[in-house]
Structure 1
Amino acid sequence: MKRLGLFILSGVLAIGARAGDPIQEDTVVIEFGERSKMVIYAETEEDLKDLEEYDINAMIGELNQSIDSTSSDTEEISIVNESDKYRKDTNVDVDKSTEPLSYYGDDSYQDDKYERRYDRDDYGSRFDDYDDDEYVRVDRRKPRGRGTYGTFEVELGMNNWLENGSFPDNNNAAYAVKPWGSWYVGVGGAYHTRIAGPLKLKWGGNMTWYNWKMENTAVRITKTDAETTFVEDPNINGKKSKLAATYVNASLMPMLEFNSRGRNRGWNWSKYSNRGFRIGAGMYAGYRIDSWTKIKYSENGDNKKDKDKGNYYLNNFRYGIKAQVGFRGMDLFFNYDLNDVFAEGRGPELQAISFGFIL
């Protein structure tokens, strides 16, 4: 199928541009049909006004004739003519310094990041020259706001767990979690695929670390033959006691993104800069790849630290619901595990939660 770029008016109508003049770019985009557009670029407002002297229909007519005379396998059509040919009044005196009208075709070079330059080496260009003779660097990425783009994200917050809908410290349980210091960290990437209007689908994966830090620093977390126990040791002066677990996860979340500028295809380190309000909710699932306990304490005047790896009857799989809300560069997240942290009958019936910021 022929791929027709009507760029006979794009980037090439710098008609009358002169060396030394201050460059002020003016661009007009005319959309017609469902997927067609015409782009008019001029380096000054005066150049844009000069367009009234040209017969646009004659330009498009000649382009159509070129199309009819080519094979169906042709991907690009270009016409290059002196600009006087398309003037409505051929008796008008023309400044000899006026450059010819040119079409920048898609004659590809190397890795499809360059296009051949026609007749623009005598005056200023808004592009950066690849060399002095033939090529000019251009942006050939997909239009903003369409397709899929990726972002690198870091989740930083706190985690806790719930027992029958309430925090265990309400009942002074030994496994009550100390909020400050129970850090939750997630590192990974996400893709954003536009569905329709402000609706996008956010999907991707990450690696997360749970750190449940016990409120009672003298609690020892022990794996017995039957279950995982949380028991206070009266013989030590506890300083820190925690259970930690690492998971790899995948997530899927529909999001509404308003006043979004969109992104080019590819990856972006800055995820939502200069964007508007957004909100979404979805699901995630993860698999445990590591877990351990650590306790720091002093005993008989000696500082000690015990760290033991093990599964502690933690469920290998986790799944739950995730919510996100943000504005511009600030985002908040909330995760709630629907399944229990420990295998059935192997520990307290607890559901993990985490919340914080997306950086």
Structure 2
Amino acid sequence: MKQLGLIILAICTINLASGASDPVKEDTVVIEFGERSKMVIYAETQQDLKDLGEYDINAMIGELNANLDSTSTTTEEVSIEDESGTKYLKESTESEEGNTGSLSYYGDERYRDEDDDRYERRIKRYEDVRRDIRRDIDRDVDVDFDDDDYIVIKRGRSRGRGTYGSFEVELGMNNWLEDGSFPDQDNAAYAVKPWGSWYVGLGGVYHTSIAGPLKLKWGGNMTWYNWKMEDPTVRIAKTDVATTFVPDPTIDGKKSKLAATYVNAMVVPMLEFNQRRGSRHGRGFNWSKYRQRGFRIGAGMYAGYRIDSWTKMKYSINGDKQKDKEKGNYYLNNFRYGIRGQIGFQGMDLFFNYDLNDVFATGRGPELQAISFGFIL
């Protein structure tokens, strides 16, 4: 606005003609919006506050803005008056004789009555409540405080807009495909046992509002692939030319697996419906995965870089237990990229990843594409 403080105080006073003989507590409603703006509504009685619904506040603010545009930037106060009390009444409402409506804008010098310290007390209570609200970043709209004669309604900044972050844990299973089918259908030595081939991901993502239900989920994580062989006697070895998977009939196999760790980045456009009413997406990072509690679905891309890989085998020979663990690249592709799908409702989300490139370098191992699927916690 034109004033130095960028603070709007809209005071709407409705005086009933006679009416209340018994004393009623005064009510003050403070609505905070934006970063430094708020609206204050002061009423002598609770009935006055209810009667406010008969007035068109948008019309008042519209006329006030028009007056501000036509005044000097040095003007400290701009007021609009309605002595008849009917100018801003909604069309379906008849005015009562004696009602008046007014709206005033004050610049940096906030309105106060020097002879009455009630205003200072209200401001102090307002600041105390505002501090308490901000301790809980997930506090919803319409926070009602019935302390003494003071009511505060606080609206979150940038409701339904902006960007917020969350921490995610992905738990699921791994497998891989060969020409679109699972290797165990051909009884291949590198067939994967689903139970025990765990996939784990840890990372942070951001949720950015684009337009309407369209959001953009983006961020990064670290993931661990574990491909556990269906045949526990299979030895995974790196030769001079390729990675081989060869069963060893001389051992009593317990476990044989290939594992790899990747750091990844992803971008997933999401359609999120049935937003929780009053949810706010202000800036910041939070452990809460979703502040919207409706149905959501999306598909996008990811890319990763391998930072570690190893094999692990447990077996026994003539009752003597053995455990071998060897680190190496095993001709795994350093880069991986693929498509990702996600679907969720309320606090439950499912994901599916499909690598578009091969797990192993060309000619250095079976032509396999990794897949993973599971839950997002």
> Which TM-score applies when normalising by structure 2?
0.70
The answer (yes or no) to whether the contact 1:58–1:86 under 8 Å persists in 2 is no
Question: What residue in structure 1 maps to residue 368 of structure 2?
Answer: 350
Q: Deviation per CA, 1:94-123: give whole Å up to 9, x if none.
A: xxxxxxx9979799xxxxxxxxx9924158
Q: How does 1:1-359 map to 2 (within 5 A)?
A: 2=2, 7-9=8-10, 46-51=47-52, 57=60, 61=64, 64=67, 68-70=71-73, 88=83, 119-122=119-122, 125=125, 127-128=127-128, 142-260=157-275, 261-359=279-377
- Separation in structure 2 between the aligned mates of residue 159 and residue 143 of structure 1, nearest angstrom: 40
Give the C-alpha shift of residue 69 in structure 1: 3.1
Give the C-alpha shift of residue 46 in structure 1: 2.6
The answer (yes or no) to whether the contact 1:342–1:350 under 8 Å persists in 2 is yes
- Separation in structure 2 between the aligned mates of residue 221 and residue 341 of structure 1, nearest angstrom: 14
From the superposition, tell whether residues 79 and 241 of structure 1 become closer, same or farther in structure 2 (CA, over 3 Å): farther
Give the C-alpha shift of residue 250 in structure 1: 0.8
- Separation in structure 2 between the aligned mates of residue 155 and residue 264 of structure 1, nearest angstrom: 25
The answer (yes or no) to whether the contact 1:313–1:343 under 8 Å persists in 2 is yes
Aligned residues: 322
- Separation in structure 2 between the aligned mates of residue 64 and residue 47 of structure 1, nearest angstrom: 26
- Separation in structure 2 between the aligned mates of residue 228 and residue 236 of structure 1, nearest angstrom: 20
Look up the equivalent residue of 1:327 and give its one-letter code: F
Q: Deviation per CA, 1:317-353: give whole Å up to 9, x if none.
A: 0000000011111111000000000000100110000
Q: Deviation per CA, 1:118-147: give whole Å up to 9, x if none.
A: 92415894552589xxxxx99796311112
- Separation in structure 1 between the aligned mates of residue 165 and residue 359 of structure 2, nearest angstrom: 31
Q: For 1:119, what is the secondary structure of its paired residue?
A: helix
- Separation in structure 1 between the aligned mates of residue 66 and residue 125 of structure 2, nearest angstrom: 24
The answer (yes or no) to whether the contact 2:164–2:281 under 8 Å persists in 1 is yes
Give the C-alpha shift of residue 235 in structure 1: 1.8
Look up the equivalent residue of 2:319 and give its one-letter code: G
The answer (yes or no) to whether the contact 1:162–1:168 under 8 Å persists in 2 is yes
The answer (yes or no) to whether the contact 1:104–1:118 under 8 Å persists in 2 is no
Which consecutive residues of structure 2, in runs of 5 or more, have no partner in the other structure?
A: 16-22, 86-96, 111-116, 132-151
**Greater alpha carbon shift after TM alignment, 230-239 vs 243-252:** 230-239
Question: What residue in structure 1 maps to residue 146 of structure 2?
Answer: none
Q: For 1:178, what is the secondary structure of its paired residue?
A: coil
Q: For 1:69, what is the secondary structure of its paired residue?
A: coil
Give the C-alpha shift of residue 242 in structure 1: 0.7
- Separation in structure 2 between the aligned mates of residue 270 and residue 106 of structure 1, nearest angstrom: 40
Give the C-alpha shift of residue 57 in structure 1: 4.7
- Separation in structure 1 between the aligned mates of residue 109 and residue 343 of structure 2, nearest angstrom: 42
- Separation in structure 2 between the aligned mates of residue 337 and residue 106 of structure 1, nearest angstrom: 62
Give the C-alpha shift of residue 50 in structure 1: 4.9
The answer (yes or no) to whether the contact 1:54–1:86 under 8 Å persists in 2 is no
From the superposition, tell whether residues 356 and 147 of structure 1 become closer, same or farther in structure 2 (CA, over 3 Å): same
Question: What residue in structure 2 maps to residue 134 of structure 1?
Answer: none
- Separation in structure 1 between the aligned mates of residue 105 and residue 119 of structure 2, nearest angstrom: 7
- Separation in structure 2 between the aligned mates of residue 344 and residue 318 of structure 1, nearest angstrom: 13
- Separation in structure 2 between the aligned mates of residue 157 and residue 14 of structure 1, nearest angstrom: 61
The answer (yes or no) to whether the contact 2:26–2:46 under 8 Å persists in 1 is no
Which consecutive residues of structure 1, in runs of 5 or more, have no partner in the other structure?
A: 30-36, 72-76, 94-100, 108-116, 132-136
Look up the equivalent residue of 1:335 and give its one-letter code: N
From the superposition, tell whether residues 319 and 121 of structure 1 become closer, same or farther in structure 2 (CA, over 3 Å): same
- Separation in structure 1 between the aligned mates of residue 154 and residue 245 of structure 2, nearest angstrom: 60
Look up the equivalent residue of 2:119 and give its one-letter code: D
From the superposition, tell whether residues 104 and 189 of structure 1 become closer, same or farther in structure 2 (CA, over 3 Å): farther
From the superposition, tell whether residues 337 and 311 of structure 1 become closer, same or farther in structure 2 (CA, over 3 Å): same
From the superposition, tell whether residues 149 and 175 of structure 1 become closer, same or farther in structure 2 (CA, over 3 Å): same
